[in-house]
Amino acid sequence: MNRFRQYFPAPLTALVAGLIVAAIGLVLLIGGLWLAALGGSAYYLVTGVAMIVSGLLLMRGRRLGGWLYAAIVFFTLIWALWEVGGNGWALVPRVVAPVVLLVLVIFAMASLSGRPRRWRLALASSAVVVLLFAAGGAMLGWLNHAGPERSLPGPRWAMADPALMQSGADWPAYGGSYSARRYSPLAQITPANVGKLKRAWMIHTGDLPSSKQVRGTYGAENTPLKVGDSLYVCTPKNIVLSLDPVTGKQRWRFDPRISDDAIPYTAACRGVSYYAVPGAAADQACARRIIFGTLDARLFALDAATGRPCQDFGANGQVDTKIGMGSTPPGYVSINSPPTIVRGVVVTGHQVLDGQDRWAPSGVIRGFDAVTGKLKWAWDMMHPDWTGYPPPGQTWARGTPNMWTIASGDEQIGLVYLPMGNAAADYYSSLRRPAENDYATSLVALDVTTGKPRWRFQAVKKDVWDYDFGAQATLIDYPGADGATPALVLPSKQGDIYILDRRTGQPLTPVGTIKAPGGGVEPAERSPTQIVSLWHTLRKPALTERDMWGMSPIDQMICRIQFRKASYKGFFTPPTSDGRSIEYPGYNGGTDWGGVAVDPVRGVIVANYNDMPNYVRLVPRAEANKKGWAPRDQARGNIGGAEGAGDPQAHTPYAIDVNAGWRLPFTGMLCKQPPYGGIRAIDIATGKTIWDRPLGTARTNGPFGIPSMLPITIGTPNNGGSVVTAGGLIFIAAATDNLIRAIDLRTGKTVWSDVLPAGGQATPMTYEANGKQYVVLYAGGHHFMETPIGDEVVAYALP
């Protein structure tokens, strides 16, 4: 100790400051050497050397060390502004930590001063640092500015809705109607009075996880229905409740008794469907019925008035949709989205658990009679001539693309529009059959009478990025020189938005092709080109090293190293096995199952979106076996976690390991700089952005999972959609900050918000009862979004 003090005689304050500066400098030196060797920025290497010298000088009692560190901070500011300009969030990891450390260095310099009132110098200098922080805070305020904005169009449309039941006083379908516009003509709540919105009632469904393991799978995702004098809600494990829409009081409750082992990746019930039997007497049992699917793949019909199973539907009110599929281990096949009912046919797909086995159960689509529950048709793309159940001794083709999300439908044309997923084993394509390559990651229009495809629109060729369609297509009228064309808006996980003629599937807006990067583990499988929308995309420019982020220069440097080590050739970079590849956007969007909302009067699309990459690696089979990665029915570990994080993809040469959002293992922070999600208004007539805003604050986000409680808009990941109203408001939760908010459709600015009792990863709905407009959200939280799990249904209204 005496020898140490002989070489480093500085006072304690200077000694501690010097040790910290030198230690950080050593880390930056080592990492900076690595980054520079990979062709990255030399800043960290140079700064590391300078900080080591600065720290050693301070420990030796030399004030020169402090001045050297002040110079480092000054040149860091210059370098940061050169790299990212005035982007406030991008400046955070570059300048905040160095400036905070500068305060300690200032006090260390004061301890080395011979002046009797040296503390005055320290305090004055620290005040300068505080001013720098204030300037930085002003920079953060620039985040909400997203370039030039356009005026919101006035009323100019009268779009027809082909649905039998439409939104208004009621909300009779998951998307408002089977046109899926998520629009309400109600206008009682406006930007002028929304500030007075209060909770009208809140109920607990009682459906909460039974264990810690099950908690890691819960995600409600439910949008209630309101028809007549009843509100219908379903819980993560498919308990259906009928509530009084004015008070929230429970009228009836039906529990299908779902076992925990039936839970797939997520325990979720996005919604139920309502059907009124034509010609039935009002007092007849099951004249009005609630039809829904379950996590164990049963299809139920309940009397909407009593909640009792409809005895004329299937066997005692239920149909087993697994019949004809062959082996279906628990959790492999589930229905978590509401069926679409067109011309009396209940059309349903199902979720097949991702990433387990190339020969997982079939993605067959079925149409059932809404009254009897009898199978009317089945579409198995590998057996297009089959019209019903498979012949004896056979099953529907295994491993085919499925529709796990929600269809929309046109009652007049008689088509249902299926957003199709991928063939089993998302990240490996060599074993796929021609029909799978034709229909995967496509929107397929089926004739609801025959179950035969009328047309298809494919967005990705031989998809190995999990870019399946997650969102409902939204039915609109599209303006043209010859008048309005029956059309649909099709958003994608890639961020592209297409408008198609819904009768033929032909694009009505420009579609182009780009050269796609080759390589990966299957170079012969990769298409040299991919299609993109030339009309509108939510996708941001390709990533660069400068887009890497963190809370300090150290974790930003680590992210830069990871970026340089990974394979990244831009959009559609193929996955690799000898190292990581970067997929941007990641599989969570762009647009996922929340879909878009459309104001059919003003002609405006409202789209919330994610803006995050995935950090991906294909893991050779032998290595995956050593890790114990096995299919769900053979699993040697707990289920849950992020999708793709150790999925076995059995019967292919590779498992898959996806770092969803590309997070650092220690702090949990994302490697890409904010924003991670936003919301945008788009003019349908021109495809141009009206406004674009980050969505979500930093209040529940922070390093190591510690909430920062900062009310600063950062733009968080989001799941769930929005509803837009004639009153000029957008209601949305979705973000990870546990807030529901009202956004002014004209400006994109948040004009009201409320803290939810749990995460809000669901789409709100709105209705009228007793002359009052209500807004309702299921606040159930979500394991993937890491928001608090709950069982609350919350209703808001004006006093």
Q: Rounded to a whole number, what is the distance in angstroms from the first to the last CA of the chain?
A: 71
> Burial level of 33, CB count in 10 A (0-12/13-18/19+)?
middle
CA nearest to 583, candidates 642, 517, 524, 677: 517
CA nearest to 507, candidates 492, 494, 489, 493: 489
At 332, list the tokens.
């492999």
For 180, 473, 713, 792, the CA distances from 444, given in Å and listed in that order, are: 16, 11, 38, 36
266 with 219: CB under 8 angstroms? yes
Q: How far is CA 533 from the centre of its chain?
A: 21
Q: How far is CA 491 from the centre of its chain?
A: 13
602 with 153: CB under 8 angstroms? yes
Helix (H), strand (E) at residue 754: strand 750-755
Contacts of 732 (CB under 8 A, 6+ apart): 608, 679, 695, 720, 721, 722, 723, 740, 741, 743, 764
Task: Output 529-535 pairs: Cβ under 8 A, ≥24 positions apart.
Answer: 529/461, 530/460, 530/461, 530/571, 530/572, 531/458, 531/459, 531/460, 531/461, 532/494, 532/496, 533/496, 533/497, 533/498, 533/509, 534/509, 534/510, 535/497, 535/498, 535/499, 535/509, 535/510, 535/511, 535/687
Q: Is 276 helix (H, G, I), strand (E, B) or coil?
A: strand
Choosing from 357, 466, 592, 791, which is the catalytic residue? 466
Distance CA 790, CA 549 (A): 32
CA nearest to 550, candidates 27, 22, 26: 27
Half-sphere exposure of 270 (CA within 13 A, CB side): 27
Q: Is 79 helix (H, G, I), strand (E, B) or coil?
A: helix
Catalytic: 466? yes
Distance CA 680, CA 748 (A): 8
Q: How far is CA 701 from the centre of its chain?
A: 16
Catalytic residues: 466
